[in-house]
Chains A and B, each alone.
Chain A
Amino acid sequence: MSKTVIHGIYDDEEQLLEGVTQLRSQGFKITDVFTPFPVHGLDHAMGLARTRIAITSFLYGITGTALGTLMMWYMMVHDWPTDIGGKPSFAYYMNVPAFVPITFECTILCAAHGMAITFFLRSWILPGVTAKNPDPRTTDNKFLILLESGDDKLGGIQSVLKQTGASEVNLKH
C-alpha cells in the first residue's frame, strides 16, 4: 500500500489547534507540525511529552558547582596554599565566603551552556544542517500539519483538514 504525504496548511493558529485536536481525536496520526512561532497549547494538543531540557540544565548546574568547588579547593588549598592578606587557605571552609561568587558563576556557566548545547544537539540545530520544514512559508505566516497515510484514510484526513479551516491541502504521492 502506497503512503501519501499530506500537508494541511492553515493561516491561523487557532484553526490549527482545532485541526490538530480533531485529527487526533479521530485517530489519525500526525507526523509533525511546523509553525512560524510558538503556538501555546500545541504541544498539549499534539500529545507531546514535556521537555526534560530544564532538568538537564539543573544537572549541568550542579556539575558546575562541583567543578568550581573542586578547582578552587585544588588551586587555593591543596596544591599551593597561600596566605593572602592574613587570610590563610589551610582548609576550604576557612575561605568559603570568598569562594561563593566564583562557585555561583561556574554553576551558571555550566547550566546555561550545557543546556544550550543539549538543545542544539537534541533538536539537531547546528550550522550546516538543512532545514526540514516542507514549505518555506511555515517560517513566515503559515501553519503546517504533516501527515502520512495510506489511501484508506486519505479522505477522512482531507475532510477534517478542510472542515477545521485549512486554506490548502497538498498531497504528495
Chain B
Amino acid sequence: MHKESEIREPLILANKSYSEISDDIIRPIKGRPNRSWYIVFTISLTAFLWGIGCLAYTIGTGIGVWGSNNGVDWAWDITNFVWWIGIGHAGTLISAVLLLFRQKWRMAINRSAEAMTIFAVMCAAIFVVLHTGRPWLDYWLFPLPNQFGSVWVNFNSPLLWDVFAVSTYFSVSLVFWYTGLIPDFAMIRDRMTKPRAKKIYSLLSFGWSGRAKDWQRFEEVSLVLAGLSTPLVFSVHSIVSTDFATSVVPGWHTTIFPPYFVAGAVFSGFAMVLTLLLIMRKVFSLEHYITVKHVEYMNIVIIVTGSLVGVAYLTELFISWYSGVEYEQYAFLNRATGPYWWAYAAMMTCNVLSPQIFWFKKLRTNLAFTFFMSIIVNIGMWFERFVIIVPTLCRTYLPSSWNMYSPTFVDVGIFIGTIGMFFTFFLLFARVFPVIAQAELKSIMKSSGVQYKNNGAHH
C-alpha cells in the first residue's frame, strides 16, 4: 500500500468508512433542500430571468441598447466574456493539471470545480453569441460553404481561433466531467430506493458496473483526457488574449498577453472556486472532505497567480515606457491616470496588493477572511478586463473619436443575469449530482485519511 509522508496533513478528517463517504455524498441528493437553499435559489433564478429579459430586449431591438458606441465598440460584453472564460479555467486546472501532478487534494474539489467550468463557459458563450449583433446569423462563425451567405470563414483571424478553442474547450470539459461522474452516478443508482430516482440515475450512470477492466480503462481515459486538457486550457486563454494582442491598438499589441491572461484566468478561477466551496462545505456539511488545508492550498495558488499577474502589470508598464512609442506610453498613462483611473486603482488593489495578505498563515487559513478575499479577487479580475478594454478604446489614435463609455441597464442586466444563471445551475447541480468525486476520494482514504495516517505514525 502506498504510504504518504507524515508531514502531509490528512485530507479526509474524521473516521470514515467507505460507506460513510457514500452516505455523506448522497445525503443532499436524498434529502430535501433547506430554507436557505430555496432563498438563494429564488434570488439566483430572479436574476437569471431578469437577464433573459434583457437578452430578449437586446435581440429584439439590436445592440444599440447597450452602452457600446463608435469608439468603445467592445465594452461590457467582451469584459464579461473574458471574465467568465477565465473563471472556467480553474476547474480544468484543478482536474487536469493537478491530476498530472498527482495532487490528491484535488479529489475533494475537482467535481464542483469542473461543474463551475461548464457553467462559466456557458455564461461566456452568451456574450460572444450576443456581441455579434445578429445572433441568428451566428452559424456564419462555423466553416460552412458560401451558399449560407458568406465566403468561407477566415482562418487567419484570432476571432475564429476563439470559436474553435472555446467550443473544443467546452465539449472536452463536458466529456471529462461526465466520464468522472459515471461511477458516482452508479453508486447513487445502487443506493436509491425510490423506483423513479433509481431509473433516472441508472440512465445517467450508463450502466456502469465497476468491472476491473472498466476501471483500468477509466483511469487511462482520465489520465489522457487530463493530458489533453492541460495544453487545451492554456491554449484557450492564450487564444482569447490574441483577440487583443494581434490587433494594432496601442495597449493591446503586446506579446505578454497570452501568459498574463492565463495567469489571470487561474487567479480569478480559484477565487470563484473558493467562493462556491466555502458555502457548499458549510451547507452540505462537507467539512471533513473540503478541509482548511484544501482552502489553504487554493489560497497559495492565489498568491502565486496574483503575484504573476502583478509582475505582468508592471512589465507592461515598463515595456510601454521602454518602447519609446508615444502611443503605447500614452495608452498606459491613460489607464492609470485617465478618466478611468478608478478602475485601474481597483484592479491594482484587488489583484496585486490584496492577495499578498495571504503570506500570513493565520489569514490564509481563516475561512471567513478567505471568502471575503475571494469576492475581492473576482471584482479585481473583472476590473482588469474592463481596464484592458474600455480605457484603451476610449482614447485611441484619433482624438476626434475619443469618447466616454457608460453601461446601460441592459448591459448590467445581462451581466447580472449570467451571474444568476451560474448560481442557478450550480445550486441545481449541488442538489442532484454527487458534488464530490466519491470513487476517487475512497481510493485515497488509506493514504490520506486521518485514521490511517495516525495508525501509520505508530510504526
> Which residues does chain B contribute within 8 Å of A85, judged by CB atoms?
156
A110 nearest in chain B by CB position: B168
Interface flag for B175 (CB, 8 Å): yes
Residues from 189 to 211 in B contacting A, C-beta threshold 8 Å: 189-191, 202-211
Interface residue ranges of B169-224 to A (CB < 8 Å): 171-172, 175-176, 179, 182-183, 186-187, 189-191, 202-221, 223-224
Question: Given A99-B155, A108-B172, is A139 in contact with B239 using a C-beta cutoff of 8 Å?
Answer: no
A112: B residues at CB distance < 8 A: 171-172, 175-176, 225, 228-229
B443:A38 contact, CB within 8 angstroms: yes
Confirm or deny: A149 has a beta carbon within 8 angstroms of a beta carbon on chain B: no
Q: Please measure, in the bound complex, the distance between the C-alpha atom of A133 and the C-alpha atom of B182, giving whole angstroms.
A: 14
Q: Is the CB of A131 within 8 A of B202?
A: yes
Q: Is the CB of A133 within 8 A of B1?
A: no
Instruction: Name the residue of chain A whose CB is nearest to the CB of B192.
Output: A136
Are B231 and A102 closer than 8 Å at their CB atoms? no
A146 to B88, CA, bound (A): 43
- Binding-face segment, A21-29, A42-50, A153-161, A163-171: A42-50
Query: Are B168 and A109 in contact, with the CB atoms below 8 A?
Result: yes
- Which of A36, A46, A120 is most buried by chain B, counting CB atoms within 10 A of its CB? A36
Chain B residues, Cβ within 8 Å of A33: 211-212
- Is A84 at the interface (CB under 8 A from chain B)? yes
Given A37-B439, A98-B155, decide whether A54 and B210 contact each other with a Cβ distance below 8 A. no
**List of A residues within 8 angstroms of B172 by Cβ:** 108-109, 112-113
Cα A40 to Cα B22 with chains together (Å): 20
B166 to chain A, nearest CB (A): 9
Contacts of B225 in A (CB 8 A): 112, 115-116
Assess the A133–B209 pair: CB atoms within 8 A. Answer: yes
> Are B171 and A139 within 8 A (Cβ)?
no
Chain B residue contacts of A101, Cβ below 8 A: 158, 161, 164-165, 235, 239, 242
The answer for the CA separation of A102 and B182 in the assembled complex, in Å, is 30
If over half of B's interface residues share one DSSP class (helix, strand or loop), that class is named, otherwise mixed; here it is helix
B210 touches A35 (CB 8 A): yes
Decide: A119 and B216 in contact? CB cutoff 8 A. no
CB distance from B188 to the nearest CB of A (A): 9
CB neighbours of B168 from chain A (8 A): 105-106, 108-109
B442 at the interface (CB under 8 A from A): yes
Asked whether A126 lies within 8 Å of B143 as measured between CB atoms, the reply is no
Verify A141–B17 contact, CB threshold 8 A.
yes
- Asked whether B362 is an interface residue with its Cβ less than 8 Å from the other chain, the reply is no
Residue in A32, A40, A108, A123 with the greatest tally of chain B CB atoms within 10 Å: A123
Q: Is the CB of A108 within 8 A of B228?
A: yes
Which of chain A's residues 68-106 have a Cβ closer than 8 Å to chain B?
71-72, 75-76, 79-80, 82, 84-85, 87, 89, 95, 98-99, 101-102, 104-106
Interface residues of B in 1-25 (CB under 8 A from A): 1-2, 17-19, 22
Residues of A with C-beta under 8 A to B242? 101
B interface with A by C-beta (< 8 Å): 1-2, 17-19, 22, 143, 146, 151-158, 160-161, 164-165, 168, 171-172, 175-176, 179, 182-183, 186-187, 189-191, 202-221, 223-225, 228-229, 231-232, 235, 239, 242, 439-440, 442-443, 446
Q: What are 9 of the A-B contact pairs (CB < 8 Å)? A: A34-B209, A34-B211, A35-B215, A37-B183, A53-B220, A76-B155, A101-B165, A128-B207, A140-B190
